[in-house]
Structure 1
Amino acid sequence: MSVTTASQTLTWRTVPRELRILILARTINRLGAFSMAFLGLLLTEHLGAGLTAAGLILAAFGLATIPSRLLGGWLADRLGRSRTIALGLFGCAASQLWIAASPSVASAAAAAVVFGLAFEIYEPASQALVADVSRPEDRPAAYALLWASTAVAGVLAGLIGAVASSIDLRLLFVIDAVSCVGCAAIVLGLLPRTAVGAPSKDEVPARPWRDSRLLVLLGVATVFATIYMLIVMALPLTLRARGLPGWHLGVLLTAGALTSVAATLVLKRITAGRDEFAMMRGAYVVLALGLVVTAYADRLSLFVVATVLCGLAEVALLGHSMSLAAGLAPEHGRAAYLAVFGLCWGVATTVAPLLGTQLLEHTGPTVTWLVPAIGALACAAAQPRLRRHLT
């Protein structure tokens, strides 16, 4: 299989064909992936749910994504990558159509739980596929390229969501369902349908929960994922608290997407030949700096600076962390390892809204951003120990 040489950066023309197909499919899916942000509004405004009930339903969705990811890892190492991705996407499509057609809160709640159970099935398979088709030295840039492509699509998704939500909130879920089906069709039609299969009699079964290296990496990644989700949740509330107009958020989302693309194009060239743990330590320091700037920002220009700093760090950290997790796994258990590693996002999705809202309410925006900055510095300090544990 042809991959880029060490002197090249990973671009659309130089990545393996399978990765190009996956990026295309996931980008199309991401264009419609805006419905979850509006589920609370659908529950409260259209179905008459109270805020407490809506919060519980959203929490139930988040909890359901945890077994969803584990199931996705198990299926990906047995059914194959493309079949598992398609299965998860069809499940997402069906559950979102159910949400759109729900006549009551109870029906929407059941549909939201089913949506959560399907929501993460395709992630371990997607992430394992990137590792399958990339050389170890190319993986950080490959993961970053996939993330950056979906980030750019996310900006366009916001525009589509804004238009659709002004017509009917239920339309958002229908559009998202259509994008899921379109993504699944590309995956089934263009990606090879090969299963990795269970380990042979001579191979040791994959036991990610018994691998202390993975669990240590998972702990650090959970801190990072929580910081990331805090940024997503707290940024619009911080802009409002600082008296800035809502359109500033769109500018910052665009700046973040452009930063992701630019950083991805040069990531491999910058990191080639350098110690990856030292690079991650530096990225955490840059992330902390961006969070500190945000803590004291009072104008758009400062928020843009902070967004660029955080975006640069996130591209490096997302790619390298995923690459490290994939490198720990045996080939026949790669998706299972990545499924366990990906649980950091389920924990973060649950913790970040609770932590962020409490910090904003009781301490204000400044402390809300300084707390994750301290967390980022702690992750930077942990890199030497992480290196000793993993190598």
Structure 2
Amino acid sequence: MRTWYRANLGGLPGAYWYLWAGTLINRLGGFAVLFLSLYLTSARGLSPAAAGLVVGAHGVGGALGVLAGGVLADRWGRRSTLLACHAAATVLMLALAFSPWLPVITVVTALIGFAQQMAPPAFVAAIVDVVPEPDRTRAFNLQFWAVNLGMAGASLLAGMVAEVSFTLLFTLDATATFITFVILLLRVPETGAARESGTAPNEPRGGLHTALTDRTFLTFVGLTFVLAVLTLQTSTILPLAMRADGLRPSAYGLVTAFAGVLIVLGQLFVPRLITGRVKGRVLAVAVALLGLGIGMVGGADTLPVYLVAAAVWTAGSMLAAPPNAEINAELSPPELRGRYQSVFYLTFPAAGFVAPAVGGWSLEHLGNWHWALCGLVGVLAAVGHLLASPARERRVAATIATPPRVSAASGRR
């Protein structure tokens, strides 16, 4: 047990654990987005189409918030950005809980998306700042585990709370956000550009355009986008396939819960499997497994087969999470780390639009061949990782060999 503890949990900085705790609490209390559409249709009387537009406002705000969070994490610092977005999200969530007017609800929902999505680039940049490179596999693995554990807990709790009161649901979400704010305020130091006390943060050389013209980085982001689109097939298009096979919604819930349990139980053992291996090869295996599992849906017509497919694609997701985050960190220049994170995190709202839109069209016109196509895309993405890996490795090696640029602010250290 002691050996397992040291291999998986030991040696990580205290600041990391407070960031980890904040992530877990945020996800565990992240009720609002899960039940927002149900709240709008049942409690506010909106049509599904109108509710979709309001929820879409959350997504648009989130996309803008990701970019703002990355820029501010570099300019203000990671801690300052995290404190600002959590304070804003707390107030906005309370406003959503008690606002009776639809126009206000729509605007507040968009602002909540903006505030909430400011956090991920700053969170990840802070983790990269405080965790030494040899420990990042474990750190990102544990973060992925916390996200899934929190989401699983939120899914269970939110349903029970929603049956009591939607106002209570949003209030508890605001409370969890505020608890995270307090943890960050009291226990997490500034780790980014503004960490030198008494000095203004140095304006980094470059900006968003640097990340958006970095070919090696954009190749990696593109492959991550493919991974995200494939992953979202399991939450957006899979229920349609299961319904067509005559399975009840509870069957889809069981498949989702099964995948979540596998992650909670198995994710902590992933570092031992992948440590010391070439990250590009690990990602290639991961995306191939993801594609294989999703491709198996085309031949599935009973719940046991769906569960086997879920086990395969979940294994791919588990293997992909740590190296994906590590490569993202390695390719990000320290002075532009927040901006690079924001470009990386844009893949997820983009995939959130493309996956259901293209996937729904594909399923309607191609039938079960849609799933075979997903499997082929997974294989092609795996090949892409193998081809792109040498250039990424050379880039990282060159970065390590080059001394960091000493700025006016850092020269005093």
Structure 2 length normalisation: TM-score?
A: 0.85
Match of 2:241 in 1: 238
Q: Deviations over 1:139-159 (max 9, x none)?
A: 233212101122012111111
- Quickly say closer, same or farther: Cα 1:295–1:35, change in 2 above 3 A: farther
Q: 1:38 Cα deviation (Å)? A: 1.8
Question: Which residue type is aligned with residue 55 of structure 1?
Answer: G
Q: Deviations over 1:284-325 (max 9, x none)?
A: 111112112233223332222222222221122222122112
Q: Is the Cα contact below 8 Å between 1:72 and 1:84 reproduced in 2?
A: yes
Q: Counterparts of 1:280-295 in structure 2 under 5 Å?
A: 280-295=283-298
Indicate which of 75, 78, 82 corresponds to 1:81. 78
Q: Is the Cα contact below 8 Å between 1:125 and 1:335 reproduced in 2?
A: yes
Q: Is the Cα contact below 8 Å between 2:205 and 2:335 reproduced in 1?
A: no
**Over aligned residues, Cα RMSD in angstroms?**
2.6
Match of 2:387 in 1: 385
The structure having more radius of gyration, on CA atoms, is: 2
Question: Which residue type is aligned with residue 298 of structure 1?
Answer: D
Match of 2:373 in 1: 371
Mapped partners of 2:89, 2:299: distance in 1: 40
Unmatched runs of 5 consecutive residues or more in structure 1: none
Unmatched runs of 5 consecutive residues or more in structure 2: 195-199, 395-413
Q: Secondary structure at the match of 2:310?
A: helix
Mapped partners of 1:383, 1:194: distance in 2: 31
Q: Is the Cα contact below 8 Å between 2:129 and 2:192 reproduced in 1?
A: no
Match of 2:147 in 1: 150
Structure 1 length normalisation: TM-score?
A: 0.90
Q: Counterparts of 1:326-337 in structure 2 under 5 Å?
A: 326-337=329-340
Indicate which of 339, 342, 348 corresponds to 1:339. 342
Mapped partners of 2:163, 2:187: distance in 1: 35
Q: 1:262 Cα deviation (Å)? A: 4.1
Q: Is the Cα contact below 8 Å between 2:193 and 2:202 reproduced in 1?
A: no
Match of 1:131 in 2: 128
Q: 1:163 Cα deviation (Å)? A: 0.5
Match of 1:355 in 2: 358
Q: Is the Cα contact below 8 Å between 1:199 and 1:205 reproduced in 2?
A: no
Mapped partners of 2:163, 2:277: distance in 1: 49
Match of 1:9 in 2: 7
- Quickly say closer, same or farther: Cα 1:177–1:279, change in 2 above 3 A: same
- Quickly say closer, same or farther: Cα 1:235–1:32, change in 2 above 3 A: farther
Q: Is the Cα contact below 8 Å between 1:287 and 1:313 reproduced in 2?
A: yes
Q: Counterparts of 1:48-197 in structure 2 under 5 Å?
A: 48-197=45-194
Mapped partners of 1:305, 1:90: distance in 2: 43
- Quickly say closer, same or farther: Cα 1:21–1:298, change in 2 above 3 A: same
Match of 1:320 in 2: 323
Is 257-266 or 309-318 further displaced after alignment?
A: 257-266
Q: 1:69 Cα deviation (Å)? A: 0.7
Figure out how many residues of one structure are paired with residues of the other and give that number.
385
